[in-house]
Structure 1
């Protein structure tokens, strides 16, 4: 389904009576499509899993796709959130987010120079997203308490197979930056794969730095059927 098809279907459904057509189109094109329509089959898989996974498991899938679509969120999580947690800090503040965004703008990581109002808005967005996905707790008016994620087994299986279905080799899957969104480095990922193997979701063979994975499920549909049980 294309973004245009989805917009037309949403508009015709009558489920958004208080949203203008222009606003609805923006939501589809700028929010939904980059997250869930970029890779074929993702939106359908998530729809099938929505009613089967526990809330925490499903939220981790949404977090994954949101971070992929919003590079600044992924960078904030991997460059600020997890390092602060690893250094023993208990909180993140609005000032931390502002400093990160201002540095990103100065470093040329944005397509154009951002006005201060945009920097303020994006900083609030980063903290809000982290709170929505369970990485932070507390009031938006003060410091947010860090709540490190523990990657759920089904979310780990989803991510592993999603990378495989994108055509990556076994070692590329293990070393992919997406794992860092959940605070996992190479050794942590290998341990996670050992747990997946114990659940018979795949077969893992290692010899030194070489890893071979036998993938139990050949299609996204097969995987979804298993995860939904």
Structure 2
């Protein structure tokens, strides 16, 4: 996770691969703890699971997409067993979390423009909307150096395509895509709450973390989501006003993963 008070710059890294849900599921099936990017690439290359992807493209997917999303934050070890049992929708939500954390431009696009459009009763997000979002970000200095107009257009298309991969928007090469708001799954809430907790966040910081906004949740919504988890005995929530205290029932992410697998 990014250290406090350090805002990562926007990059074009989404161009290496958008959602890649199925590709990620296959790579997780091949992954073993302590595996390096190079070792995973060799395993994937020899597996025969990617017959339609060139060796160069496969290397790029692993190095530029899989690694920064799931290896560098060391979450592949938790996602691997989960990916084998949860629904496509649940897996997609978990992958969205880490893809957005690795790509600040996607995180901001969804948590601001996407949900603002939905809250404003808009049914679609257009190519122009995405372009304007990226253009404004560049003007505000959120990139390492100014992007050309062609780069802005490409990144705008990456954002729309990635949202479509995660079922936030409709698919297709159209100028306007239909908004398809998702409802966070209980397994996603459980995983995210404990992952943030074990990342060292205090209870109130956790409840107010920006990542929940990927699913349209404000802090009040998050508290209600945690109270729903509490009904299963997965944690205990006490809240008064804006202060929240949580009693965590599991001692490791491995325990959380086991609960997700068994539920």
Return the TM-score normalized by structure 2.
0.81
Map of 2:105 onto structure 1: 72
Note the 1:103-182 alignment, pairs <5 A: 103-182=136-215
Map of 2:258 onto structure 1: 225
Gaps of 5+ in 2: 1-34
Partner Cα distance (2:123, 2:221) in 1: 22
Change (3 A) 1:139 1:12: closer
Partner Cα distance (1:138, 1:33) in 2: 26
Q: Work out whether residues 114 and 125 of structure 2, in 8 Å CA contact, stay in contact via their aligned partners in 1.
A: yes
Is 149-158 or 46-55 further displaced after alignment? 46-55
Change (3 A) 1:104 1:13: same
Map of 2:222 onto structure 1: 189
Q: Which runs of 4+ in 1 moved over 6 A?
A: none
CA RMSD of the aligned region, Å?
1.7
Does structure 1 residue 100 correspond to structure 2 residue 127?
no
Return the TM-score normalized by structure 1.
0.93
Map of 1:89 onto structure 2: 122
Deviation at 1:21, TM superposition (A): 4.4
Deviation at 1:147, TM superposition (A): 1.1
Gaps of 5+ in 1: none
- Superposed CA deviations along residues 113-157 of structure 1, whole A, max 9, x for unmatched, are 222222121111111111111111153223111111111111011
Partner Cα distance (1:17, 1:153) in 2: 35
Q: Work out whether residues 161 and 171 of structure 2, in 8 Å CA contact, stay in contact via their aligned partners in 1.
A: no
Map of 1:30 onto structure 2: 64
Aligned length: 228
Map of 2:43 onto structure 1: 9
